[in-house]
């Protein structure tokens, strides 16, 4: 059996293989009639991956509060209407997943990178209040380049964010999600607090590494406390800021080790996003080394993501011990049946939806 298609168990969640879908924002909620509520587009988008053979589908970043949305068109899990809409999607995935697909919620707060124009709006930067935007929040009043400056968060606002993550996690469980991932990467709020490039505070939520990691770990504790013991908890981090003076890999290993001790079951390893002046040379597998180091040195399962587009690349990452799972993003947008094709290319059979079985490559007519 190819390593990519070996089963994986996290707590009581049994996954049929290690090929997953990375969270990808769709910017497709109706900001006027149903803000933050996923709709038919999200059902089709995520459902296609279930039919395409994915073992675990991580849904797009769902904001834990209205001001936590990346854009006015982003999804949320901060009210019951959103949870009910998500339940329709989780039910569909469970019913029609070809490979017994499971689905996870990614909980997020965009912090100073919130209230931005969505990518296909034709506009850039922050959305003004007059156009449906809002004043953003951050650890310090430092703007992300090209965006409006955030308001520095007060201590009580930080506590509210922790509570918001916990409340959203409860809704995720009620909506039928199989796992929860905390988004602590890509320059969003938890990463902003973690990175010395965005956090200039001198109180308990800033300063040294312990202070800057405090919010991330407090959210981990709050979410772990409200989801079932049997449900795995995932944490996405940026392993490096790719910028002088920012987070580096040794710091991320230390964070991962602490997260594991607090009940995180897998670190979803990405990188970058804290600042616009980061220096990255993307190439296939450019992040797998981060995943491998965290897996080995922190002693926790990891997922890897980033320009892994072929079955061979994904197989190599798993077979060589660089990760326990490979998360596919843009390649899945190009081919929502990526996992069925990958299994065929690696000489392995996984279940197909019965409606599609006539297209099985091994059949002759």
pLDDT one digit per residue (tens) for the chain, 365 residues: 999 999 999 999 999 999 999 999 999 999 999 999 999 999 999 999 999 999 999 999 999 999 999 999 999 999 999 999 999 999 999 999 988 999 999 999 999 999 999 999 999 999 999 999 999 999 999 999 999 999 999 999 999 999 999 999 999 999 999 999 999 999 999 999 999 999 999 999 999 999 999 999 999 999 999 999 999 999 999 999 999 999 999 999 999 999 999 999 999 999 999 999 999 999 999 999 999 999 999 999 999 999 999 999 999 999 999 999 999 999 999 999 999 999 999 999 999 999 999 998 875 44
Query: How high is the pLDDT of residue 365?
Result: 42
Please report the pLDDT score of residue 221 as a whole number.
98
Coil, strand or helix: which one is 14? strand
Q: Phi, psi at residue 125, to the nearest 5°?
A: 90, -160
To the query of whether residue 27 is one of the catalytic residues in this protein, the response is: no
How many residues in the chain?
A: 365
Query: Which structure tokens are listed for 191?
Result: 């990463």
**CB 146, CB 124: distance < 8 Å:** yes
Where do we find the tokens 């449900």? 231
Q: Say which of 78, 188, 286, 356 is annotated catalytic.
A: 188
Helices (H) and strands (E) in the chain, counts: 10, 12
Residue 68 has φ and ψ, to the nearest 5°, of: -90, -5
Tokens of 331: 């390649």
Q: Where are the domains of the chain?
A: 3-359
Pair 182, 220: CB distance under 8 Å: yes
**Residue-level pLDDT at 363:** 53
| Dihedral class, residue 16 (left if φ above 0, else alpha if ψ from -120 to 50, else beta) | alpha
Res 158: pLDDT: 98
Q: Name the token pair of 78.
A: 């901060």
Q: Which of 229, 308, 347 is nearest to 19 (CA)?
A: 308
Superfamily of domain 3-359: Aldolase class I (3.20.20.70)
């Amino acid at each position: 059996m190819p390593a990519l298609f070996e089963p994986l168990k996290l707590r009581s969640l049994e996954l049929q293989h290690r090929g997953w879908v990375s969270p990808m924002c769709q910017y497709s909620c109706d900001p006027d009639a149903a803000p933050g509520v996923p709709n038919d587009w999200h059902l089709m988008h995520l459902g296609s991956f279930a039919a395409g053979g994915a073992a675990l589908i991580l849904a797009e970043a769902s904001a834990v509060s209205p001001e936590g949305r990346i854009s006015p068109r982003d999804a949320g899990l901060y009210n019951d209407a959103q949870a009910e809409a998500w339940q329709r999607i989780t039910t569909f995935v469970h019913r029609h997943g070809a490979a017994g697909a499971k689905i996870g919620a990614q909980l997020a707060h965009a912090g100073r990178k919130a209230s931005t124009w969505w990518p296909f709006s034709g506009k850039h930067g922050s959305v003004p209040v007059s156009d449906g935007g809002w004043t953003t929040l951050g650890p310090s009043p430092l703007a992300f380049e090209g965006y409006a400056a955030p308001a520095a968060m007060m201590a009580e606002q930080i506590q509210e964010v922790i509570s918001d993550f916990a409340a959203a996690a409860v809704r995720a469980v009620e909506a039928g999600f199989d796992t929860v991932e905390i988004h602590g990467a890509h320059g969003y709020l938890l990463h902003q607090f973690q990175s010395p490039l965005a956090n200039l505070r001198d109180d308990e939520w800033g300063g040294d590494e312990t202070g800057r990691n405090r919010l991330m770990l407090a959210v981990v504790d709050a979410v772990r406390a409200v989801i079932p013991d049997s449900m795995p908890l995932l944490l996405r981090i940026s392993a490096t800021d790719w910028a002088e003076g920012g987070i580096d890999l040794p710091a991320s290993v230390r964070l991962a080790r602490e997260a594991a001790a607090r009940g995180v079951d897998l670190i979803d390893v990405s990188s970058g996003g804290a600042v616009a002046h980061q220096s990255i040379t993307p190439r296939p597998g450019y992040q797998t080394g981060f995943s491998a180091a965290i897996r080995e040195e922190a002693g926790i399962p990891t997922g890897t993501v980033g320009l892994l587009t072929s079955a061979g690349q994904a197989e190599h990452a798993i077979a060589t011990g660089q990760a326990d799972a490979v998360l596919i993003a843009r390649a899945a947008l190009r081919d929502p049946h990526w996992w069925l094709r990958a299994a065929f290319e690696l000489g392995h059979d996984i279940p197909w939806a019965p409606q599609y079985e006539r297209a099985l490559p091994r059949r002759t007519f």
